[in-house]
Structures are given as C-alpha cells and as structure tokens.
C-alpha cells in the first residue's frame, strides 16, 4: 500500500488555534529526523494561529522517555494537547520492537489516564531513508500531520 503524503490537508477545515496551548516533547535520538519533525509541527501550529509563547518544548533522551516526559508535562503545565516526537530505526536486534511497542502503549495509556490528548508523532522505520522520506521528504512531514491532529483534538476537548 503506497504511503499517502502526510502533509496534504484542507487548511480551511482546521480551527483557529490562537486560544490553545501546546506541548511538544522531542526525543534526542536521531536528531536530524526529530528536529525536522519538530520544525514541521511548529510551523503548522503557527500557521493556524498558535501564539509562539503557547508552544512549550521539552527534550528527552530517547523515544522511550517520551512517556515520562509527556506525563510530567501534563502534570505541570496547562495544555490543550501534546505532540510526542520520536524516531525509532530498526537495528540488529529486537530492541526496536520493544521500544516501539513500549512507547506506543505508554502514550496510549496516558491518553486514557489524563484529559490531555497526546499525538503520536513517532516514526518507526526500517531504515533511515524511510525516516527522511517522512520528515520533510517525498512522503511529507509527519510533524505537520501531527500538528493538525493536535489542533483538531484540542478543539474536540472543549466539548
Ligand atoms: N534505538 C533508538 C532508541 N533507543 C533508546 C530508547 O528510546 C531509550 O532512550 C533507551 O532504551 C533508554 O531508556 N530511541 C529512539 O528514539 N530511537 C532509536 O532508534
Ligand atoms: C531501536 C534501537 O534501540 C536500536 O538503535 C538498537 O540497535 P541494535 O538493535 O542494533 O542494538
């Protein structure tokens, strides 16, 4: 199944985000990828009206630490949504599987436990080229897609 471009969307359908406050937790593993994901997310949030001062960025060592970083951010900041940014690339061992499953389940659990939506912006790729293609390359930028999801979920949270 061909991957759709992650960055094409109907911009007119996105609520104005001026009143929302967003957290972005960024993994420091594979920074070439995660920084591009962050820039895509930040640019999209600003494009849809978010105030720069309403984007709170924290860094964590790796994708597995996104779980604790998001939890701590929810508990200490007043936020309407959080974007968790990471990039896990398959190595020689099964560690990839455990990191990906762990961060997926951990972020899922936080979405159940707390009333702040956490957007899963974690690329889980077989190789670096797949990551490059999805962080500003031929398949777009998952950071943009995640920012759009964050705005939509922040609006939904108001009901
Ligand atoms: N191999 C990758 C990791 N591994 C590190 C873990 O995320 C974690 O920091 C460590 O196990 C200590 O708890 N992390 C990534 O984000 N990307 C990788 O490719
Ligand atoms: C996904 C990872 O943690 C990865 O970097 C580990 O590499 P390896 O499986 O070769 O130890």
**94 pLDDT tier (thresholds 50, 70, 90):** very high
SS3 26: strand
Residue 58 is assigned to a ligand binding site: no
Ordered strands of the 22-27 beta sheet: 55-60, 22-27, 81-89, 118-125
Question: Does ligand 1 have an atom closer than 6 angstroms to the CB of 74?
Answer: no
Task: Give the Cβ contact number of residue 85 at 10 Å.
Answer: 31
Higher pLDDT, 159 or 107: 107
**5 pLDDT tier (thresholds 50, 70, 90):** confident
Rounded Cα distance, 132 and 126, in Å: 11
Burial class (CB in 10 A: 0-12, 13-18, 19+), 35: middle
Minimum CA distance residue for ligand 2 atom 2? 96
Q: What is the DSSP string of 122-157?
A: EEEESSHHHHHHTEEETTEEHHHHHHHHHHHHHHHH
Q: Where are the domains of the chain?
A: 14-156
Mean pLDDT of 36-51: 98
Q: Is the pLDDT of residue 124 over 80?
A: yes
Residues near 85 by beta carbon (within 8 Å), at least 6 away in sequence:
24, 25, 26, 27, 34, 37, 38, 41, 66, 121, 122, 143, 146
Q: Is the pLDDT of residue 1 over 60?
A: no
Q: Is the pLDDT of residue 6 over 80?
A: no
Q: Is the pLDDT of residue 82 over 90?
A: yes
User: Among this protein's residues, is 95 annotated catalytic?
Assistant: yes
Q: Which of 11, 95, 108, 157 is catalytic?
A: 95
Ligand nearest to the CA of 87: 1
Residue 64 is assigned to a ligand binding site: yes
Of all atoms in ligand 2, which is nearest to the CA of residue 88?
Answer: 1
Give per-residue pLDDT as tens, 44-63: 999 999 999 999 999 999 99
Domain 14-156 has CATH 3.30.70.270: no
- How far does residue 88's CA lie from ligand 1's centre (Å)? 7
The pLDDT of residue 8 = 86
Provide the ipTM. 0.97
The pLDDT of residue 2 = 54
CB 25 within 8 A of CB 70: yes
Residue 111 is assigned to a ligand binding site: no
């Amino acid at each position: 199944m061909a991957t759709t471009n992650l960055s094409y969307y109907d911009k007119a359908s996105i609520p104005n985000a001026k009143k929302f406050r967003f957290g972005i937790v960024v993994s420091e593993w594979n920074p070439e990828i995660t920084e591009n994901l962050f820039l895509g997310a930040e640019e999209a949030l600003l494009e849809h009206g978010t105030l720069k001062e309403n984007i709170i960025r924290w860094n964590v060592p790796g994708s597995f630490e996104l779980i604790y970083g998001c939890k701590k951010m929810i508990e200490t900041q007043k936020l309407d949504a959080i974007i968790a940014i990471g990039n896990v690339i398959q190595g020689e061992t099964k560690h990839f599987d455990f990191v990906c499953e762990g961060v997926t389940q951990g972020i899922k659990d936080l979405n159940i436990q707390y009333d702040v939506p956490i957007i899963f912006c974690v690329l889980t790729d077989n190789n670096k080229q797949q990551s490059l293609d999805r962080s500003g390359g031929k398949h777009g930028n998952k950071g943009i897609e995640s920012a759009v999801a964050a705005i939509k979920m922040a609006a939904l949270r108001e009901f």
